[in-house]
Amino acid sequence: MNLVIDAVLAGKIAPLGSQGKRSAIHKVALSARVRVGETGLDGDHQYERKHHGGPEKALHHYSRDHYAAWRDEWPEASAETVGLMRFDAPGAFGENISTSGLNETDVCVGDVYRLGTVIVQVSQPRQPCWKLNVHFSRDDMSRRVQDTRRTGWYYRVLEPGEVAAGDPVERLARPHADWSIERLLRVFYVDRDDREALEEMATLEALTPSWRSTAAKRLESGKTESWSTRLNTPASAK
């Protein structure tokens, strides 16, 4: 696997949408090497730390290959500014790491990678929220990201270091080869009653505790948790 980082991106907290909601989803590419610590890139901000950032979601990685699919499905977005970004440069989905040649089917939870001099481990898929709707001025964007399973994934940082565009991406370990990010997303959002898969997910130590807990609760209750608060834009943000 001869992969390099296309872009390393960070963002500041700023108003989002006409109602002035706050977010750091708008990421811009960095030209210099940047330090990565336990909670992510130096200078990269998150507004609602309950839902964004923290050690289990220190870095968000998104495949640049998905941009072609978004352009094909939403061609007007290539010619017009949509929300804050367009589909012609990395950063539209709030990612910190952008690469080509790696996607949710290629990456497994627990995978350990070297990015520059940083050692990271895949912790969970991204769960899209309504701020993507406001960001793209499209009410169904968060659900589209979830339904297509083009979500990207998060890393926890095992060893701090530095990273920059052009650095190689090297996989060092794969403890859970049967559990790709795509499979996790499929179990959570498509095959929601697959008890055998949920039982296994609930015991995957490399998977973020909140995901393991959700799998266990679904097994106990026999019901799928509601996604409406996460996916639907609140009236106060419209």
Q: Domains of the chain: which residue ranges? A: 3-237
Least confident stretch, 23-32, 48-57, 208-217? 48-57
Q: Write the single-letter amino acid at 176.
A: H
**What is the predicted pLDDT for the residue at 84?**
44
**What is the predicted pLDDT for the residue at 203?**
97
Whether residue 229 has pLDDT greater than 90: yes
Least confident stretch, 77-91, 102-116, 123-137, 216-230? 77-91
**What is the predicted pLDDT for the residue at 189?**
97
**Helix (H) or strand (E) segment spanning residue 35:** strand 34-37
Q: Give residue 46's pLDDT band: very low, low, confident or very high (50, 70, 90).
A: confident
pLDDT tens per residue across span 47-64:
776 667 899 999 999 999
User: Higher confidence at residue 1 or residue 71?
Assistant: 71
**What is the predicted pLDDT for the residue at 216?**
98
pLDDT tens per residue across span 152-164:
999 999 999 999 9
pLDDT tens per residue across span 176-195:
999 999 999 999 999 999 99
Q: Give residue 1's pLDDT band: very low, low, confident or very high (50, 70, 90).
A: low
**Interatomic CA distance for residues 219 and 69, integer angstroms:** 34
- pLDDT (average), residues 17-23: 81
- The pTM of the full predicted model, rounded to 2 decimals, is 0.94
Is the Cβ–Cβ distance between 217 and 209 less than 8 Å?
no
**What is the predicted pLDDT for the residue at 235?**
87
- pLDDT (average), residues 5-9: 97
**What is the predicted pLDDT for the residue at 42?**
96
Mean pLDDT of the chain: 92
187's tokens: 């179990």
**Interatomic CA distance for residues 122 and 177, integer angstroms:** 12
- CATH architecture entry for 3-237: Beta Barrel (2.40)
**What is the predicted pLDDT for the residue at 83?**
46
